[in-house]
Structure 1
Amino acid sequence: MGQPPNFWFSILILIHLLLLTFWLGGDLGTYYSSRQVTKPELSVDARRISLKIMAFCDMGPRLCMPLFLASGTLLIVADPLGEKLRWAAIPVVLFTAVWVALVLIEHNVVGDKPLKRVSLRLDYAARIAVVIGTVGTGTATVILGGKPFGVESNPRWLGLKIALYGLTVLCGLLIRLSLKPFPAGFMALVKDGSTEAAERAIGGSMARATPFVYVIWALVITIAWLGVAKPGATL
């Protein structure tokens, strides 16, 4: 976008790319370890260790998702073409900081404590707000004529990128809903060993969540391509 990037703009691009890398890499680690969690032929201890690895790997995409929003916004406003939108950077960065804090609370607070329950509800609300805001803004940018984002460089590719980002957040919510029976099923596995009911809860949850994981991968790769190719842009 615009003129050749200066030093700080290059740093923002690097951060944006690193977040994308850790997002996909962490997701792949989460996916592989989740396959081990669902294997009934493994011991309970082995599956418990796999679950710990899965939770650790999952922190990559869980943190990169909100940070990607902030880094993308900073990239927009750091470019001369986004000068008119620089006022939007502060609320987005503050929102991202709160979102990241909620993710860290959910990961580090053990058990069904009030703080964790509140953070989960707020996290859901934040994700829903992001889905509505990004999909709505991005879709409007792609569809409507005139000067999206107040510039004449035809950044409809950016609108599509923003909308697709919102869809990744939506897929993340659908994964969470798909995995709702999982905790009770795994607790039953640890307590009573492998039973048909426990395996059904564990395996069924993962099976329902897996298609949304594949969709996220496709969306993230498409988002990366849009950022590189910028189709239709007149820069």
Structure 2
Amino acid sequence: MDLYTVLVFIHVLLFVVWLGGDIGVFILGQHFRRPAYPMDTRLTLLKLLVINDMAPRTAWALMVPVSLSMVAMGGYLALPLWGLALAWGVGALWLWLVWTAHLHDQTPLAARLRVYEFWLKIGLTVFYLGFGGVSLATGDWLGAGWLGGKAFLFGVIFAVAIMIDVTFKPLGPALGRLIEEGSSDRTESDVLVIMNRTRRWVLSIYGLLVVTAFLGNVKPF
């Protein structure tokens, strides 16, 4: 057993937690959408959804340093020590932003930290799209094969996840009206429209995760 083997195991574990946790979030969201449930039950489902969502968010943040460490330890790219340190620093910062915002939810601090996290994800989107795109186009860095493709798709996952955040953001006010005014055709429709728009991006994430995992395990090219 060596460090690379351990990182591969952790990488697989993070994938399982990410995809499995996200599916759990999706199922809870599907039940929350049902007006047949009493409002107290629906709010409990929403609370469980938020708690469950922390598992894939944590796994996603850890994927950045773990994947780059695997690239270095596996001999695919000679990353300098400062590059690995930066990757783990970014992962630690991201985890801090995610968990601090969660623990201080509905406060000005949480709102501010989520803005920082949003811009961090934009930066990582640009990094992975560029990293993978240049590798695929030139054959440098990660090469034009499966690893370059995987890095590029990881950047696409970031981009789609940002669209989830953007599409989901109006749910807060719509949910507030639903709770305050009660269930009606109008309040239910407002929530349903937002969740349906978000669901398309969520399903896209699932497909991208499966394709990314296929590239990493099968290495078809």
TM (normalized to structure 2)? 0.94
Match of 2:122, as an amino acid? I
Give the one of 6, 14, 18 matched to 2:9.
14
Partner of 1:39: 34
User: Contact between 1:178 and 1:208, CA under 8 Å: does it hold in 2?
Assistant: yes
Query: How big is each residue's C-alpha offset from its partner over 1:182-226, in whole Å with a ceiling of 9 and x where there is no partner?
Result: 111222222221123321221111100011111101111111111
Partner of 2:49: 54
User: Contact between 1:65 and 1:169, CA under 8 Å: does it hold in 2?
Assistant: no
Match of 2:135, as an amino acid? T
* Secondary structure, counterpart of 2:77 in structure 1: helix
Partner of 1:69: 64
Partner of 2:135: 141
Matches within 5 A, 1:31-180: 31-111=26-106, 113-145=107-139, 147-149=140-142, 154=143, 156-180=145-169
Q: Give the CA RMSD over aligned residues.
A: 1.5
Paired residues in the alignment total: 221
Q: Residues 156, 148 of structure 1: CA spacing in aligned structure 2 closer, same or farther, 3 A cutoff? A: farther
Find out whether 1:200 has 2:192 as its counterpart: no
Give the one of 10, 21, 30 matched to 2:25.
30
Query: How big is each residue's C-alpha offset from its partner over 1:76-105, in whole Å with a ceiling of 9 and x where there is no partner?
Result: 111234335544211111011101111112
Partner of 2:210: 221
Matches within 5 A, 1:173-192: 173-192=162-181
User: Contact between 1:181 and 1:201, CA under 8 Å: does it hold in 2?
Assistant: no
Q: Give unpaired runs (5+ residues) of structure 2.
A: none
TM (normalized to structure 1)? 0.89
- Whole-angstrom distance in 1 between the partners of 2:75 and 2:81: 10
Q: Give unpaired runs (5+ residues) of structure 1.
A: 1-5
User: Contact between 1:77 and 1:86, CA under 8 Å: does it hold in 2?
Assistant: no
Q: Residues 220, 202 of structure 1: CA spacing in aligned structure 2 closer, same or farther, 3 A cutoff? A: same
Q: Residues 176, 80 of structure 1: CA spacing in aligned structure 2 closer, same or farther, 3 A cutoff? A: closer
* Secondary structure, counterpart of 1:89 in structure 2: helix
Partner of 1:3: none
Shift of 1:15: 0.4
- Whole-angstrom distance in 1 between the partners of 2:57 and 2:70: 21
Query: How big is each residue's C-alpha offset from its partner over 1:34-77, in whole Å with a ceiling of 9 and x where there is no partner?
Result: 01111111110111011011111211211111111111001011
* Secondary structure, counterpart of 2:105 in structure 1: coil
- Whole-angstrom distance in 2 between the partners of 1:119 and 1:231: 40
User: Contact between 1:148 and 1:156, CA under 8 Å: does it hold in 2?
Assistant: no
Match of 1:200, as an amino acid? S
Match of 1:148, as an amino acid? W
| RCO higher in structure (CA 8 A, sep ≥6) | 1
